[in-house]
Amino acid sequence: MNELSIGQLATRAKLNASTLRYYESIGLLPAPERKNGQRRYDEGLLDRINFIKIAQQTGFSIQEISVLLEGFEAGDSLSERWEQMAKQKRAELEERKKQLNSMIQILDSGLSCRCLTWSECKQKIENIGSC
C-alpha cells in the first residue's frame, strides 16, 4: 500500500487539497489514517477520485455520486438500484450528447459561413439549405 500526503494525492488527482477535504467531509472519500497528525491516503483512492470527477463533469449530483459509490440502503438490491439509476442517468447523458452534437453542427456551420450574424446565417440555411 502506497501512502500519500494530501498534497501528493491532490497533485496526482489534479485537484486542490481543499477539494479532497471537502469530499472527505461529505463522505465521498473515507476518512484517512493519520500519522503524526497528517492525513495519509491510500494511492488506490485515485480511481475513486477519478470516478467522482467524471461523474461531476457529466452532471451527476453529489447525492447521486454518493449513492453510486456506496449509498444503498439496507435491504435494497444493489444490482436493481444500480440498474435503475444507471438507466436514468444514461438517458440523461444521451440527451445531453444530442444537444452537444447539435451545438457542434451549429458551430461548424458558423465556422464555414461568412455571414455577419447568426440570424443571417440561419435564414440562408432555411432558404437555400446551406450558408
Average pLDDT score over residue span 115-119: 77
Write the pLDDT tens digit of every residue in 54-99.
Answer: 999 988 999 889 888 875 556 666 677 778 888 888 999 999 999 9
Strand order in the sheet with 38-42: 3-4, 38-42, 33-35
Provide Rg for the chain, Cα atoms: 22
Closest to 57 (Cα-Cα) out of 103, 100, 109: 100
Whose grid coordinates read 439549405?
129
The rounded Cα 95 to chain-centroid distance in angstroms is 16
Does 113 score more than 90 pLDDT? Answer: no
pLDDT-derived band at 114 (thresholds 50, 70, 90) equals confident
Q: Which of 3-7, 85-89, 102-106, 119-123 has the lowest mean pLDDT?
A: 119-123
Q: 113: Cβ–Cβ under 8 A, 6 or more apart, which residues?
A: 121, 124, 131
| Cβ atoms 28, 14 nearer than 8 A | no
What is the mean pLDDT of the segment spanning 96-123?
82
What pLDDT was estimated at residue 78? 64
Mean pLDDT of the chain: 86
Q: Residue 13: is its pLDDT beyond 90?
A: yes
Residue 62, Cα to own-chain centre: how many angstroms? 10
CATH 3.90.76.10 at 1-71, yes or no: no
pLDDT of residue 100: 93
CA distance 11 to 98: 34
How far apart, in whole angstroms, are the C-alpha atoms of residue 68 and residue 82?
7
Q: Which residue has the higher pLDDT, 66 or 129?
A: 66
